[in-house]
Amino acid sequence: MNLKRAVPWIAFGLALAGAASSLLPSGKPRGFDVEAFGQVPVLEGGRVKPVDTIARNALLMIRGKQSASSEGRSIGPDEWLLDVMFRPEVADRQELFVIDDPEVLGLLGIQQSRNRYYSFATLAPRIDEIQRQYVAAEPIDPKVRSHFQSAIVNLFERMFLYHRLKNTVQLEGTPGLAAEIAARAGPGAPQRHRLLVELAHFKPLLPVTPTGDAWRSVGEALTGTTTVEPGLEQWARLGLAYQAQDAASFNRSVADLAATAALGRPDAAARSDHEWLFNAAQPFYSGMVIYVLALLAVFVSWLWRPVLLQRLAFGLLLAGAVVHTLGLASRVLIQGRPPVTNLYSSAVFVGWAAVLLGVVLERMYRRGFATAVAAASGFASLIVAHHLSVDGDTMEMMRAVLDSNFWLATHVVTITIGYSGTFLAGALAIGWVVRRHLTRRADPAASKAIVAMTYGIICFALFFSFVGTVLGGIWADQSWGRFWGWDPKENGALLIVLWNAIILHARWAGFARERGIMAMAIFGNVITSFSWFGVNMLGVGLHSYGFMDKAFWALSAFVGTQLVLMLFALVPARFWSARRAEAAAPGKDRPEGASQPV
């Protein structure tokens, strides 16, 4: 096979192999099989998930990362959760809590420094004052809270989550779960009963695998019957082994617990194993890395070995699309829902659709531009999804109004494809602008190809956004008894349809030509971003499922950059070079041109 023909497939295979390498066993830290512990199924937030998901989400919410530092070394989320539940004296010294607000630091008596992370042990002496400030700030509408009030609410909620995790399996400061099981019928039962009631209250997760349908917390399992369930005993032995740092006993207890779960609820164990595999693979992180490599390969191809490197970049883009697709399909299987169920999944889906469209365009035009735009779109969307994931479980239970797989698979998916198309058209227009002002030699054929790609994608986006909007009206009629109510989200969807239609009519009627169409395509990014995120910032309307004040400045910056790029789309190519030439020859008259549409 010719080397140039083989290059994309070599790049494709190497990229997939690199992504799959994350599934290789990571070893047993200090001899403890924490990976097996992370696969144990529990019930939390209304769905069965592995302990690993609990640990990752909690650590993301508390620390903003999926790793922590303990005793001078980096530890993963599962080992961290074991420390929290069974060695709280160790976990309390780990610097987990991010505090940036100077007023909060002043309240805690901490001098501001480069360090942004603080341990629970550092914060615990002022917990009463933190709670007092929280009680005062929490009833205030999030849209009107001060920066300090928002920071104190956020800090208290993270500390309370940490406190609940510490008291999930056994209460802090007590002899432990094994001692409670051993002394159930002995003296002091009333006092122990009060402790068990308190333990039943702290249940961010339900770890006792049922033989029927009702999952229970440890406290509920202890107070419900005089017999001890096997799963409860195994959790007790697991805790004792980890407290004693006995790796062999810990590993046996984890294996017994996993066997009990597989016997009692094989469906839950299978679902948990699948989600653990998804967590370990981290397909969207791998996808981001592959997209960046594809983008870099395209950039280098514009300077050296264009044919070879453009084919290599296309192979990487295909690998990224495969990894992205596998991650999306895994979420669908785990959640049992269509691919778009919340803001996080919409970001993942928008990027996926944009990448697939880019693959098709690159196969049609073979110039490297579609590869660059698709890789950039995929990377940008996954970055947005990554920042949205810090709010907790991205596969949470559906709200009642959204609990319809049919409409999620038709209206939501269709209109999200419309988002993808509009963003991809805007991204192509941005690529056109950058190329127009940075290349030294004019290439009319290349410019014509990019304009043709943009036009085709706008037609595609108009179709899907229109159909999606109509389907949304039918769903609204069935759910709320009216087809259209001028809700902010409905208005945003309509604006996308109208703007794409305006672009096409402007081109057909001759009101706008190459520069004008590209500037209008970039403004489509602004309209789509408002429809996608803006409604959540307004916090009003039937489609608003949560106020998002954190994204305000990011959205404002995005809109600002799009307006600047529109300006660059409208000015003449390399206009600064032309001005330098005019300054060098001030006596030369500039040629006059006829007024034409841009």
Residues 92-137: tens digit of each pLDDT: 999 999 998 999 999 998 888 888 899 999 999 999 999 999 999 9
> Could you tell me the pLDDT band of residue 175, with boundaries at 50, 70 and 90?
confident
Mean per-residue pLDDT, 390-403: 70
Q: How confident is the model at residue 487 (pLDDT cuts 50, 70, 90)?
A: confident
Q: How confident is residue 30, by pLDDT bands cut at 50, 70 and 90?
A: confident
pLDDT at residue 590 in the model: 46
Contacts of 445 (CB under 8 A, 6+ apart): none
Give the residue ranges of DSSP H helices in 244-305.
247-264, 266-281, 283-301
pLDDT score recorded for residue 399: 61
DSSP 315-355: HHHHHHHHHHHHHHHHHHHHHTS-S-SSHHHHHHHHHHHHH
The residue with tokens 């039918």 is 474
**CA atoms of 400 and 407, how far apart (whole Å):** 13
φ/ψ of residue 41, rounded to 5: -80, 140
In this predicted structure, what is the pLDDT of residue 396? Answer: 76
Residues facing residue 165 across a β-bridge: none
pLDDT in tens, 32-76: 999 999 999 988 888 889 999 999 999 999 998 888 888 778 899
Percent of the chain at pLDDT > 90 equals 51
User: Taking residues 463-479, what's their average pLDDT?
Assistant: 90
Cite the DSSP H helix spans in 487-551. Answer: 488-509, 514-529, 535-538
- Range list for CATH 1.20.120 in the chain: 398-574
The helix/strand/coil state of 406 is helix
- Which of 221-235, 314-328, 329-343, 472-486 is least confident? 221-235
Give residue 598's pLDDT: 66
Q: Residue 451's pLDDT is what?
A: 92
Q: How far apart are CA 282 and CA 292, in angstroms?
A: 16
Least confident of 26-35, 56-65, 414-423: 26-35
> CA–CA separation, 233 vs 173, rounded Å?
20
Tokens representing 135? 């009680």
Ranking 294-303, 348-357, 394-403 by mean pLDDT, the lowest is 394-403
Tokens representing residue 100 in the block: 């940036």
Average the pLDDT over 381-408 and give the result: 78
CA distances, 176 to each of 145, 270, 410, 528 (Å): 41, 30, 51, 54
260: burial class by Cβ within 10 Å (0-12, 13-18, 19+)? Answer: buried
Query: What pLDDT band is residue 543 in, cutting at 50, 70 and 90?
Result: low
Integer Cα distance of 548 and 537 in angstroms: 5
pLDDT averaged over every residue in the chain: 85
pLDDT at 549: 61
CA-CA distance, 137 to 152, in Å (whole number)?
A: 8
pLDDT, residue 1, reads 52
The architecture in CATH of the region 398-574 reads Up-down Bundle (1.20)
Better pLDDT: 3 or 556: 556
Question: In angstroms, rounded to a whole number, what is the distance separating the alpha carbons of residues 315 and 311?
Answer: 6
Residue closest to 418 by CA, chosen among 335, 357, 491: 357
pLDDT in tens, 237-291: 999 999 999 999 999 999 998 888 887 778 888 889 999 999 999 999 999 999 9
Residue 403 pLDDT: 62
